[in-house]
Structure 1
Amino acid sequence: MSVAHGLKVGCQTFTWEMLGSGWQGGPDDLLEAIAAGGYAGIEITDTMIGPYADRPDAFAAALERHGLTLVSFAFGSESGFTERDRIAADLEAARRWIGFAARFPGALVSMGSATVMSPGDRGEKFTVAAEVYNRAAALGEEAGVAVAVHPSSHHDTLLFDRADYDQLFAFLDPDLVGWVPDTGHILRGHPDILDTLRAHRDRIRYLHLKDVDASGTWAMLGEGVCDVPAVIDIVAASPRFDGWLVLEEESEEAGRDPAAAVKRNRETMRRFGV
């Protein structure tokens, strides 16, 4: 691997969020664990921001105390971004979080995967999702905040295999709506990850790195089938890539001890030269 210069490593807070009620901490605990793990940045979600949701200045001060940068603010919706009667509410949420992210120079807003939440025509759901993403990204442009889509392979996702990615991206404004590829989710839906990354490389804003085994079960980074060096080489060549590699761990090890798991992943990246 020819490691690109300027790569930065951040941590996604879903590693703790996936514990559900088993996680009793707050955002300050996340910042402490992520900083202690050796990370430079954080991607936090609307469900984990807690008391800082309406206090971006206070969150900025907390980040500074821990030596962290806000890479991105990620949010989802109970609509799955596919329900036409929820478009206005989804755009209002986008406006809110774009306003939050605008406090942090260079921070993006990441919108979750379009998901099937009710019966109906699949093509119409793609149409609605594209409208929401495009209009949210236009709001972001007005505020000086880049907006990107984060497809996932979770239950009822509309964005599972390569054909799904191609269909949605054909509807998205390439100048406005970015892409946050997630190596684990891509591998679960279409194992030829390098082809997928190359096909839509110019949309990439930053990267989610995680791993799966050959059966698609989550694995610790570097212990599955993801060719991390090859992925980084492709992503680093994107003209819009901002240099952030965001590690997100969903394996059983993370369920037992999230802080230890993300620290171990950071050590794994050092072995890759990052």
Structure 2
Amino acid sequence: MNISRTAVPLRAGCQTFTWEMLGAVWRDRPDELLASIAAAGYSGVEITDTMIGDYAGKPQAFGRALDRHGLTLVAFACGSASGFTEEAALSQDLAMAERAADFTAAFPGALLSFGSATVMSEGPRDAKFATAAQFYEEAAERGRAAGVDVAVHPSSHHDTLLLTRADYDALFALLDPQRVGWVPDTGHILRGGQDIFDTLRTYRDRIRYLHLKDVDAAGQWQMLGAGVCNTRAVVDIVAAAPRFNGWLVLEEESEEARRDPAKAVGKNRDALRDLGV
């Protein structure tokens, strides 16, 4: 049985963080990542600023590498040591955002994704939300000037500012949904104890593309389909979102992925085929 579709076709992409978890051994090897992702049957890739390697600032060269492997750039994902919550780092972070937008602009349809606001120092949470919102809004303006759509990707990792539904509500209340999109991540939403269906429906107009991951009832990472995430129901909700671009990006963080990233992302691709994607 296939997942119900809208006018936007569903496409499978892969996020390079699966390899980034392994540390420096995989840095500066983007061609090997692209080869593994293409061999697993994905048609798109979301690459991080950490894993872009020697292609950083070289969009034409990276475009040729994508072409060699038959891949489309879904998104360029960027983070910062500031966690986007340090006011003193705002100008530096925005300069990075402008460079990233210029890079992403070379790939029609690709988005610029910024990581989760993260608590990096002591201070009032309200002030950190305000700083993060200012960054995301002003980064989106840099993206608009370059012709690139910008989105935020909340996570459940250590010291994230964006874990619970209350956290999502607090940030999204400060962001213009027409300017700053959202990349929901099924695993991170579930690890935050949220009602995933309600969160997705409430903020559906912000959704640009989707990260698919799975966890067990205790919040431990599992391979797609081995945990509690109802992937079919999630995709049905997201597929109806008005600005969803059709990309389902798989990002695997389980122990199986740590042992063999290429094999793990291949198994996840098979799981999506079972759903008709």
Q: TM-score range by the shorter chain?
A: over 0.9
State the partner residue of 2:149.
146
1:77-133 deviation per Cα after TM superposition (whole angstroms, max 9, x unaligned): 000000000000010010011100000000000000000000001100000000000
Unaligned segments of structure 1, at least 5 residues:
none
Residue matched to 1:4: 5
Compute the displacement of 1:163 (Å).
0.3
Q: Separation in 2 of the partners of 1:57 and 1:3?
A: 36
Q: 2:63 aligns with which of 60, 63, 67?
A: 60
- Offset of residue 3 of structure 1: 2.5
Q: Give identity over the alignment, percent.
A: 67
Q: CA deviation at 1:174?
A: 1.0
Shift of 1:23: 2.9
Q: 2:258 matched to 1:255?
A: yes
Secondary structure of 2:173's aligned partner = helix
**Number of aligned residues:** 274
Aligned counterpart in structure 2 of residue 217 of structure 1, from 201, 216, 220: 220
Residue 266 (str. 1) matches residue 269 (str. 2): yes
For 1:242, give the aligned amino acid: N
Return the alpha-carbon distance in structure 2 between the equivalents of residues 191 and 271 of structure 1.
Answer: 26
Q: CA deviation at 1:54?
A: 1.8
Deviation of 1:24 (Å): 5.9
Deviations 1:26-56 (A, max 9, x none): 0000000000000000000000000000211
Q: Normalising by the residue count of structure 1, what TM-score does the alignment of the two structures yield?
A: 0.98
Whole-angstrom distance in 1 between the partners of 2:178 and 2:99: 22
Q: Distance in 1 between matches of 2:244 and 2:268?
A: 21
* Preserved contact between residue 45 and residue 75 of structure 1 (Cα < 8 Å): yes
Q: Which residue of 1 aligns with 2:180?
A: 177
1:190 Cα deviation from its structure 2 partner = 2.2
Which piece of structure 1 moves more, 252-261 or 2-11?
2-11
- 1:244 matches 2:247: yes
**Structure 1 residue 128 corresponds to structure 2 residue 131:** yes
Maintained 8 Å contact 2:83/2:117: yes
Q: Secondary structure at the match of 1:171?
A: coil
Structure 1 position 199, deviation (Å): 0.7
Aligned to 1:92: 95
Counterpart Cα distance in 2 of 1:45 and 1:21: 14
Q: Is the 8 A contact 2:27 2:50 kept in 1?
A: no
Moved over 2 A (4+): 21-25
Write the distance in 2 (CA, Å) between the matches of 1:118 and 1:200: 29
DSSP 3-state at the match of 1:246: strand
Gaps of 5+ in 2: none
Q: Is the 8 A contact 2:12 2:247 kept in 1?
A: yes
Q: Which moved more, 1:224-233 or 1:17-26?
A: 17-26
- Shift in CA distance, 24/87, structure 1 to aligned 2, threshold 3 Å: closer
Q: Is the 8 A contact 2:28 2:51 kept in 1?
A: no
CA contact (8 A) 2:28 2:54 kept: no
Query: CA RMSD for the aligned pairs?
Result: 1.0
Shift of 1:155: 0.3
Q: Distance in 1 between matches of 2:202 and 2:21?
A: 31
Q: Residue in 2 aligned with 1:165?
A: 168
Partner of 1:158, secondary structure, is coil
- Cα distance between partner residues in 1 of 2:272 and 2:200: 20
